[in-house]
Amino acid sequence: MSRKVLVTGGAGYIGSHVTVELIQAGYDVVVADNMSNCDMTCLEGARKVTGRDDIPFYRIDCCNPDSVRKIFKEHRIDALIHFAAFKAVGESVNSPLKYYRNNLDSFMSVLSAAAENGGCNVLFSSSATVYGEADKQPVTEQSPRKPATSPYGATKQMCEDILQDTVKAGIGIKGMALRYFNPVGAHPSALLGELPRGVPNNLIPYVTQTAIGKRECLSIFGNDYPTPDGTCLRDFIDVVDLAKAHVAAVGRMIDGKMKEDYEIFNIGTGRPVSVLEIVKTFEKVNGLKLNYRFAGRRAGDIMAIWADPSLANEELGWKASRSLEDTLKSAWAWELHLAGKNE
C-alpha cells in the first residue's frame, strides 16, 4: 500500500529537498505552500530530479483550516511534515505578531485538521535555536531549552509544546520534533537549493552571493570570541543529509517503531566548524578568493552550538555523511546555476 506524506512548506529550501528524498524512498508526497517565502524554482527542481511532474501541489495558507481540511479530504495522509513557517530571526524581532500569528496558527490549523481526520503522524521542523546559549556543548536532547532570544525561537519552543500537549490529549496524533542545527548546501543536481529573498541573513548564501559578485563583501560577525580562531562555531548540516533524516523519521512513525508517542531528535553532524573555516574551505574547494572582512559581533548571536547526534544515529539509523567540502561545492554549484552560468 502506498504511503503518503503531506509536506507543508514543501516548496521551500528544506521542504523541497525532503520531498525529493521521500519520493526517491518510495513515498507519495503532497505539497502545500503559500509561496510567501519562495517561488516555484525548488519545486520545479524536485519534479525534475524525481521525474515526477505529478506531485500534488496545493497553493494554500496553512493558517486557513478549511484549506488544510480539503487536503485531508482528498488524500489519505499517513504522516505530515510541517515546515510552513517564517524563519528569519532578525525579522521576527521587528515583527513579533506576524511570527506568532503565522507560525502558531499554521501549526494549530494543521494539527486540528489531522485530528479531525482521525489522527496522524506529525513531524515538526524544529531548530537548535530552542537551546539558546547552552551551558555545555555538544547539546543533547536533554539539554535544557533556554528562554528564546527571538520570537522566531519562541515559536519553535511553543510549537514543540503544542505538539507534545496534542499528543498527550490522546486524539490520535503521534509527534516527533527534529531539531536542526544549521542547514546548508544544495542538491547535487544543482536544481534546488537555498533561495533567500533579499539580503541573506544566513552565512552560506551570503558567501556564495559574495563569490558570484551579487554582494560586495562578506562581513564575518566577530573574530574576538574565545574560540580557536575567534569566530563563532556552528554545526553545519548538509540539507540532503537533513532531508534523509526526515525519511528515516517518517518511516519510524509510520512503521510504529516509536518508543514514545512524542520524540525529539537533534539533527546535526556533531562537528563544530567555525565561520572562518567555512570561508577558507569554500575558497579551497571552489578554487576562488572570497572578499571578506572581520566586523563587529551580530546582536543575538551565540558563540558556539553543535549537536550530540547520537540519539538520532542510534534510533533513526541515520548519520550525516556528506563532507563539508562536498556541501560547500554544492552551494557554489547552485549559485552558479542560479546565475545561469553552468547551464
Using CB under 6 A as the binding rule, whether residue 227 contacts ligand WQD is answered as no
Residue among 155, 4, 2, 7 nearest 68 (CA): 7
Using CB under 6 A as the binding rule, whether residue 283 contacts ligand WQD is answered as no
Sign (positive/negative) of CA torsion 135, 136, 139, 143?
A: negative
How far is residue 256's CA from residue 59's CA, in Å, rounded to a whole number?
31
103 in the Ramachandran plot: left (φ > 0), alpha (ψ -120 to 50) or beta? alpha
Using CB under 6 A as the binding rule, whether residue 155 contacts ligand WQD is answered as no
Cβ-closest residue to ligand WQD? 232
CA 106 to chain centre: 17
Q: How far is the CB of 234 from ligand WQD (least distance, A)?
A: 5
How far is residue 197's CA from residue 60's CA, in Å, rounded to a whole number?
20
CA 327 to chain centre: 15
How far is residue 68's CA from residue 64's CA, in Å, rounded to a whole number?
7
Q: Which position among 201, 227, 310, 313 is part of the footprint of ligand WQD (CB under 6 A)?
A: 201
Using CB under 6 A as the binding rule, whether residue 219 contacts ligand WQD is answered as yes
Q: Which position among 206, 262, 282, 332 is part of the footprint of ligand WQD (CB under 6 A)?
A: 206
Q: Which position among 89, 192, 237, 333 is part of the footprint of ligand WQD (CB under 6 A)?
A: 89
How far is residue 263's CA from residue 279's CA, in Å, rounded to a whole number?
35
Using CB under 6 A as the binding rule, whether residue 232 contacts ligand WQD is answered as yes
Using CB under 6 A as the binding rule, whether residue 127 contacts ligand WQD is answered as yes
Using CB under 6 A as the binding rule, whether residue 246 contacts ligand WQD is answered as no
Pairing of strands 79-82, 4-8: parallel
Using CB under 6 A as the binding rule, whether residue 106 contacts ligand WQD is answered as no
- Secondary structure element (H or E) that encloses residue 276, with its range: helix 275-286
Choose, from 99, 131, 152, 292, the residue flagged as catalytic. Answer: 152
Residue where the block lists cell 525534475:
48
Q: How far is the CB of 321 from ligand WQD (least distance, A)?
A: 21
Q: Which position among 3, 87, 246, 322 is part of the footprint of ligand WQD (CB under 6 A)?
A: 87
Contact mark string toward ligand WQD, 296..315, x via CB under 6 A:
--x--x--------------
Question: Is the bond preceding 188 in cis, omega lying within 30 degrees of 0?
Answer: no
Q: Which residues contact 216 (CB under 8 A, 6 or more apart)?
A: 210, 291
**Which residues on adjacent β-strands are paired with residue 175?**
122, 262
Using CB under 6 A as the binding rule, whether residue 211 contacts ligand WQD is answered as no
* Contact region with ligand WQD (CB under 6 A), list: 112-120, 215-223, 252-260, 334-342: 215-223
Q: How far is the CB of 126 from ligand WQD (least distance, A)?
A: 9
How far is residue 99's CA from residue 13's CA, in Å, rounded to a whole number?
19
Contact mark string toward ligand WQD, 172..191, x via CB under 6 A:
----------x---------
Question: 151-168 and 96-116 helices cross at what angle (nearest 10)?
Answer: 20
CA 73 to chain centre: 27
Using CB under 6 A as the binding rule, whether residue 203 contacts ligand WQD is answered as yes
Based on CB atoms, which residue is closest to ligand WQD, 251 or 268?
268
Q: How far is the CB of 89 from ligand WQD (least distance, A)?
A: 5
Tell me the site size for ligand WQD, rule CB under 6 A.
18
Using CB under 6 A as the binding rule, whether residue 117 contacts ligand WQD is answered as no
Verify whether residue 152 is a known catalytic residue: yes
Based on CB atoms, which residue is closest to ligand WQD, 85 or 253?
85
Q: How far is the CB of 314 from ligand WQD (least distance, A)?
A: 24
Cell digits of residue 245: 533524516
Burial class of 316 by CB neighbour count within 10 A (0 to 12, 13 to 18, 19+) = buried
Query: Which residues are part of the catalytic machinery?
Result: 152
Footprint of ligand WQD (CB under 6 A): 87, 89, 127, 129, 182, 201-203, 206, 218-221, 232, 234, 275, 298, 301
